[in-house]
Amino acid sequence: MASTAAYGTWPSPIDAALTASHDGRPEYVGTVGDEVWWTEPRPAEGGRRALVRRRADGSTGSVLPEPWNPRSRVIEYGGVPWAGAARDEGGPLVVFVHFADQRLYAYAPDGPDAPWPLTPVSKVGGGLRWVEPRLLPERGEVWCVLEEFTGESPTDVRRAIAAVPLDGSAAEHRGAVRELTDDHHRFVTGPKLSHDGRRAAWIAWDHPRMPWDGTLVKTAEVTAEGDFTEVRTLAGGEDESVVQVEWDRDGSLLFVSDAGGWWELRRLGPDAVAGAAVPAGRLCTGRNEEFGGSLWKIGERWFQLLDSGLIAVIHGRGSNALGVLDPESGELVDAVGPWTAWASTLAVQDTRVIGVAASPHTSYEVVELDTATGHTRTIGAPHRDAVDPAHYPEPRIRSFTGPEGREIHAHVYPPRHPDRTGPEGELPPYVIWAHGGPTGCSPLVLDLEIAYFTSRGIGVAEVNYGGSTGYGRAYRERLRGQWGVVDVEDCAAVALGLADEGWADRERLAIRGGSAGGWTTGASLTSTDVYACGVISYPILDLEGWATGETHDFESQYLESLVGPYAEVPERYRERSPVNNTDRLTAPFVLLQGLDDPICPPVQAERFLAAIEGRGIPHAYLTFEGEGHGFRRADTVRRALEAELSLYAQTFGVERTDVPRLELTE
């Protein structure tokens, strides 16, 4: 029988070091001949990513030794960093972006040579960067997105689709890189080639729109010499978000568009591609589900075409599933299995579909579906229980009512322990988690960071506040002009709803978040009295600074939609910024900041700390060398978690001896 102990004091086998060692997930699956490749996190190796191959015999191994780190910095969030091709002799060839210098390299993993560079280093601004490579051995080139800085400012940058020679002739000579598109559009994705190689398609967009606001589908004829001609806009618009394009074998173009209010799969037939005025047809209608998502990383994929004519799709509302769509009948059959969240990466190989998925009881793993048999299995990064699963939380999918009766989606994780229960009459403390983005979504998956708290008797509620993806364009656009209002109100509504329902202790509510979630946390602490404390990680705290040069190019005009045009409503930027509302701040907090963060730089945190100086507010400021936007190193994740738990213990009045006491200064 479980013994009684105060919430927040429970012992747990899930310590911060264990949690940190499981941080991150596989990404960017692809096929190379009869092998499946993907990238995996290595928190203990300085937070690098490893490129992993699964051979035909089922054995797995790393493609690249340390310190090689396949990770792109294009638009700072990166995207697909590698591409591979099978060869008749000498084993496969892979090209990849190395994080440290952002050069494109080639490598024959079964050969004797080390990776060799294909692109030069530029000393201008952020240099030369590459993403979403497509390996074309028959042309002797790699086609990919080029990001080139033209000055020292983060916004002195241009992007184009480019061709890099495989012979290494561009390794020291920028002039050997062929540009296939002009720079008329600020942002582009990598080119998709039709099956006959005669056409290319890609996505483009411009400031101030973000890719979930409005994008264009561009096509071009490809000459025998590999040049793009007759460039046209085929679909999309200022108020239509297209997030993926792919060619079918008959010359038609498939793409995901939210023109109908949800990201749905559509088709333009060969006649439309050739220039005829033929409207795009929907392939799966009336489901009110998302078949796509927010394009935060270049090259994300929510669907793939199989040789049989079937289409593998990731779809759902809130949570999602992997399904197989028959485009002729419209029949959609989901894969069998426990997975409730599929990452935006898919690959196909004959009758097989490979993706990355997780569930409330399993972490992200590489999963294969054989469409010929309907059988699913885990083929890479398999989940293994680090502790007795009885210490994992059991989530509840909930909706709450916010201001004006609006529905708010959330995942609630009550405290859970196999040997402990709270005293009769005592309610547990709860922490509200605000996700980043803010155009993001908290998936329903096993997260040891959540279990770290729930197994100690502290509840967690992840709030997919207005503005989140997964619930249609109208839900996403609730945040237009309302950032710092709707997100703050929705998080508070969930926190107070849990207290009113008798789930949470009203006096022991906390809030935490990173990036845009750090903004929501800071805004909540300086505009409401709901929370007893908060944890603010790599945040935005000063809208004016962020809008006038203190961030990178990709999001430099994001606030135009989230807050409003700065030139028209500058007072709104000042009024909502936590840095200008510290007179309302009374709750203790921890501020966590990577010192190499180009998206939310330390100057934002430092300005906030200067504004509270002498106010007598207990706080701690922890900085981490070598960390950028989001923490990747095991020692950083461990230290951040222990600091967070210590803050809660001190604020909620519980004793914990398993973490160092965080020194709070006033």
pLDDT digits (tens, 9 = 90+) for 609-628: 999 999 999 999 999 999 99
Beta bridge partners of 144: 162
Q: Give the torsion sign (CA, 616, 618, 623, 628).
A: negative
pLDDT score of 30 more than 80: yes
Rounded CA gap, 10 and 5, in Å? 7
Average confidence (pLDDT) over 593-610: 97
pLDDT in the model for residue 276: 65
What pLDDT is attached to residue 281?
76
Lowest mean pLDDT among 158-162, 269-273, 295-299: 269-273
- pLDDT class for 345, splitting at 50, 70, 90? very high
Q: How far apart are alpha carbons 640 and 16 in whole angstroms? A: 9
- End-to-end Cα, the chain, rounded Å: 44
Task: Answer yes or no: is pLDDT of 277 > 70.
Answer: no
Percent of the chain with pLDDT over 90: 94
Task: List all residues 6 or more positions away from 575 whose beta carbon is below 8 Å from its beta carbon.
Answer: none
Scanning 593-633, the segments in alpha helix (DSSP H) are 602-612
The pLDDT assigned to 202 comes to 98
pLDDT in tens, 434-464: 999 999 999 999 999 999 999 999 999 999 9
Per-residue b or e along 126-136, where b marks 16 or more CB atoms closer than 10 Å to that residue's CB: bbbbbbbbbbb
pLDDT of 285 over the 80 cut: no
pLDDT for 183 equals 78
User: Do 83 and 97 contact (CB within 8 A), yes or no?
Assistant: no
Four-point Cα dihedral 363, 432, 210, 343, nearest 10: 10
Residue 224 has pLDDT above 90, yes or no: yes
For residue 1, what pLDDT band results from cuts at 50, 70 and 90?
A: confident
Assess whether pLDDT exceeds 70 at residue 582: yes
CA 310, CA 247: separation in Å to the nearest integer? 13
pLDDT of residue 232: 94
Q: Are 599 and 437 in contact (CB under 8 A)?
A: no
pLDDT at 271 over 70: yes
Both tokens of 346, joined, read: 């898919």
pLDDT digits (tens, 9 = 90+) for 84-141: 999 988 899 999 999 999 999 999 999 889 999 999 999 999 999 999 999 999 999 9
Mean pLDDT, residues 58-67 taken together: 94
Asked if 137 and 85 count as a contact pair (C-beta separation under 8 A), the reply is: yes
Is 350's pLDDT higher than 90? yes
Q: What is the pTM of this model?
A: 0.95
- Tell me the pLDDT tens digit for each residue of 401-435: 999 999 999 999 999 999 999 999 999 999 999 99
CB 78 within 8 A of CB 298: yes
Q: What is the mean pLDDT of the chain?
A: 96
Percentage of residues in the chain having pLDDT higher than 70: 99
pLDDT grade, residue 278 (50/70/90)? low
Q: Which residues fall within 8 angstroms of residue 83, CB to CB, at 6 or more apart?
A: 30, 94, 95, 96, 133, 134, 135, 142
Report whether pLDDT(283) > 90.
no
pLDDT at 282: 80
Predicted pLDDT of residue 119: 98
CB 648 within 8 A of CB 429: yes
Average pLDDT over residues 228-255: 95
- From residue 334, how far is each of 51, 158, 314, 369 by CA, in Å? 29, 41, 9, 10
pLDDT of residue 279: 64
Average pLDDT over residues 486-509: 98
Query: What gap in Å lies between CA 445 and CA 642, rounded to an integer?
Result: 22
Strands 509-514 and 533-537 turn out to be parallel
Q: Are 231 and 283 in contact (CB under 8 A)?
A: no
